[in-house]
Structure 1
Amino acid sequence: MKITVIQNSAYGRAGLVEKFITAKGWTCRRTMSPREIITTDLANIIDDAVVFLGSRRGVYETHVQWIARERALMKLLVANSVPVFGICFGAQLLATALGGTVMPMGHRYRGWMENATALTPVWQGPWLRWHGDFITLPGNVKILAADNNTVQAFEHGSAVGVQFHPEVSADVLQDWGGYRSAMPAADRNALDEALRYANQHVSEIEKRAFELFDKVFNRITS
């Protein structure tokens, strides 16, 4: 299987999801947004499945060229029933393609948290949340996990979206430190705390992530 992973940040690499893809013996092709998204024919990105990673930007910033291009790409993939796995910003792209909305919620989630409601334990977590937007979805979309009235995981057809970050390991969080100078103090403290947790639970985090990726790719490619 050939998987395209769209990375939306120099520091936001694919981490555990790329490790999972490699362990499966699948091919992982990484595409860096915004540069490659702006210059690439979108039709050439369609592989057996596409993974969209997170971003510090909002999907509603449609005046930004690469965001408008990724929204168009997601609509194209959904229309053609190409398997899609959206993570955080990627989940928000998917929500808009399905007819939902994305808006700032006035506060931000930062840290490892469990979801209050989950279809099965693997969706419960704890998972790392790092977002300040909430999504609404049409009634035909299946909710897999939610917490505090915010959707955290959902599926529709050959697509799954999660607002949390199952790709994140201690190494990925260490990379996120590249943004420290632009972070408010509260975010820097939350990042330090999240990294401490990740360093203390390395094996547990990877095992839980691989279980979730198994479920996701089985759902979207079956």
Structure 2
Amino acid sequence: MRVNVLQHTPNEGPGAIQTWTQARGHKMYVYHPYQYGILPTADETDMLIVLGGPMSPNDDLDWIKQERVLIKQLLDAHKPIFGACYGAQQIAKTLGYAVHASPVKEVGWAPVTLQSQVIPGLPATSTVLHWHQEMFEIPDEAELLYSSKDLRNQGFVIEHEAIGLQFHFEPLADNVREMVVNDGAYTTGSILNETPQDILDTPVPADNEETVFKLLDYLNA
């Protein structure tokens, strides 16, 4: 299977998603549309991963609009899509739902609570990395998957076709360090009140990578 990854900033890579592709024997291709303006076609995509980034789906940029064209083509073709943070917002906006400022800025480690049993074997509570100040509205065709105490709309699932998460399960320890050393100033104003050093000092929960595997296996079933 060809897994096409859309990466939107150098310091937010696929992390555990790459581990999954290697373990399952898939081929991963990473695109950087913000830099090169190149996207895969729907025909050459078996699964699409849309990663996070500092931009907004509401930005008036051609490549952002073209990403939504691709997402729409894949949804129409019933090909699986996984979106993290900005990527989840792009899926929601493609389906016609609002992306807007969140009532809270969340940057750092904090728990989310599972709201649906549609995907087997997921932990009831997970400590995840938040790195956002915008949020999506849940599409009508989707089921609420995760919430936190500060924000209800943390994740959604559309049958076996799409998963969108406002937060990050995918970063491994090296990825977290890369995010913090390059974008640590973004912690300012976060409701979680964590410093860049606090984030670095928090070990990545071991079950986060396992959860990535369960989410992607579900999409690929």
Structure (1/2) with the larger helix percentage: 1
Instruction: Show the 5 A alignment for 1:53-64.
Output: 53-61=51-59, 63-64=60-61
Question: What is the alpha-carbon distance in structure 2 between the residues aligned to residue 46 and residue 190 of structure 1?
Answer: 42
Question: What is the alpha-carbon distance in structure 1 between the residues aligned to residue 201 and residue 83 of structure 2?
Answer: 26
Q: TM-score, normalised by structure 1?
A: 0.84
Pairwise CA distance, 1:123:
6.0
Residue 194 of structure 1 is matched in structure 2 by 199
- Runs of 5+ unmatched residues, structure 1: none
Question: What is the alpha-carbon distance in structure 2 between the residues aligned to residue 123 and residue 20 of structure 1?
Answer: 22
Instruction: Show the 5 A alignment for 1:46-125.
Output: 46-61=44-59, 63-119=60-116, 121-122=122-123, 124-125=125-126
Residue 213 of structure 1 is matched in structure 2 by 212
Question: What is the alpha-carbon distance in structure 1 between the residues aligned to residue 47 and residue 70 of structure 2?
Answer: 13
Question: What is the alpha-carbon distance in structure 2 between the residues aligned to residue 133 and residue 163 of structure 1?
Answer: 9
1:160 matches 2:163: yes
Question: What is the alpha-carbon distance in structure 1 between the residues aligned to residue 189 and residue 137 of structure 2?
Answer: 27
Residue 12 of structure 1 is matched in structure 2 by 12
SS at match of 2:112: coil
- 1:110-153: CA deviation from partner (whole Å, max 9, x where unpaired): 11111245335536311111111121123321111112343111
Superposed CA RMSD: 2.3
- Runs of 5+ unmatched residues, structure 2: none
Q: How many residues align?
A: 212
SS at match of 1:129: strand
Report the more deviating stretch, 77-86 or 146-155.
Answer: 146-155
State whether residues 107 and 194 of structure 2, in contact with CA within 8 Å, keep that contact through their aligned partners in structure 1: no
- 1:62-86: CA deviation from partner (whole Å, max 9, x where unpaired): x122222222221222122111010
Residue 151 of structure 1 is matched in structure 2 by 153
Instruction: Show the 5 A alignment for 1:170-185.
Output: 170-176=173-179, 177-180=181-184, 183=186, 185=188
Counterpart amino acid of residue 24 in structure 2 = K
Question: What is the alpha-carbon distance in structure 2 between the residues aligned to residue 47 and residue 186 of structure 1?
Answer: 38
Change (3 A) 1:110 1:213: same
SS at match of 1:154: strand
State whether residues 48 and 83 of structure 1, in contact with CA within 8 Å, keep that contact through their aligned partners in structure 2: yes
Identical counterparts, % of pairs: 23
Question: What is the alpha-carbon distance in structure 2 between the residues aligned to residue 119 and residue 107 of structure 1?
Answer: 23
Question: What is the alpha-carbon distance in structure 1 between the residues aligned to residue 94 and residue 124 of structure 2?
Answer: 22
Change (3 A) 1:109 1:149: closer
- 1:183-207: CA deviation from partner (whole Å, max 9, x where unpaired): 4655795332111103xx4xxx2x4
Question: What is the alpha-carbon distance in structure 2 between the residues aligned to residue 191 and residue 14 of structure 1?
Answer: 21
State whether residues 187 and 196 of structure 2, in contact with CA within 8 Å, keep that contact through their aligned partners in structure 1: no
State whether residues 108 and 187 of structure 2, in contact with CA within 8 Å, keep that contact through their aligned partners in structure 1: no
Residue 25 of structure 2 is matched in structure 1 by 25
Question: What is the alpha-carbon distance in structure 2 between the residues aligned to residue 209 and residue 101 of structure 1?
Answer: 28
Q: TM-score, normalised by structure 2?
A: 0.85
